[in-house]
Amino acid sequence: MLALKVLGLTGMASYALAYFCTRLPHVSYHRYKLIAVPIDRIPEMPRGYSCRDLDRAELAGHAIDIDVAAQAERFARGLTCLGIFDRHDELIGVTWMGKAVHDEGDMHVRYILPANAAWDTGMWLREDKRMSRAFSAVWGGMKAWLRREGLDCTMSSIADYNIPSILSHRRLGSRRLGHISVIRIGRLQYTRGAKPSLCMVGKGETPTVHL
């Protein structure tokens, strides 16, 4: 069974618990792998594609997977939006890159990044391009951005039951940094893998991970 082979018993149990929590009011559970991909394992930009930074105004003119308010929130957190364009200058994908600190809103967790690393999040591909070279083009854009910023790897979090993402990152030679687990009941949050482990969301210190 592919799922068991890729995820292992822990990943399967994590998926079951996450699904169960969605059926309970005011309860959520997340467990993520923290990974790093070195720049020398990232593909170059395929021929026919290009990448450029998008500001709020330009991005708002395109339909992607998050609305304008969510886009503004990411820009406010200091993330850079990389837009990937095909040979007709049509937007076919985006990803978001950050440096130094990354705040994970869904989990109320803060990651402190090493000086040589970036954080990538929110990759989106236009649906009709998901089986094309567009996926490599997004990574090619990330590689060009890392070079420009003088960085040598990118880090991210993946749900430990997200099989497609786990497999694609394995093919890129990703290195596992650890895991982080979050369970929230109302505003009370317990975070395994960050300090402080217990907090009230919106009050006090944010659980922090030093990578």
Structure tokens at 181: 């687990």
Q: Which of 119, 76, 129 is nearest to 99 (CA)?
A: 119
Q: How far is CA 120 from the centre of its chain?
A: 5
User: Other C-beta atoms within 10 Å of 29: how many?
Assistant: 18
**Number of domains within the chain:** 1
Supply the pTM of this predicted model.
0.89
pLDDT of residue 97: 98
- Identify the pLDDT of residue 1: 53
Q: What is the extent of the structural domain holding 15?
A: 2-210
- Hey, which residues does 85 pair with through a beta bridge? 50, 91
Sheet with 109-112, edge to edge strand ranges:
101-104, 109-112, 208-210
pLDDT along the chain (211 residues), means of 10: 52 72 87 95 95 95 92 94 95 97 89 97 90 91 97 94 81 92 93 94 90 95
What's the CATH code of the domain at 133? 3.40.630.30
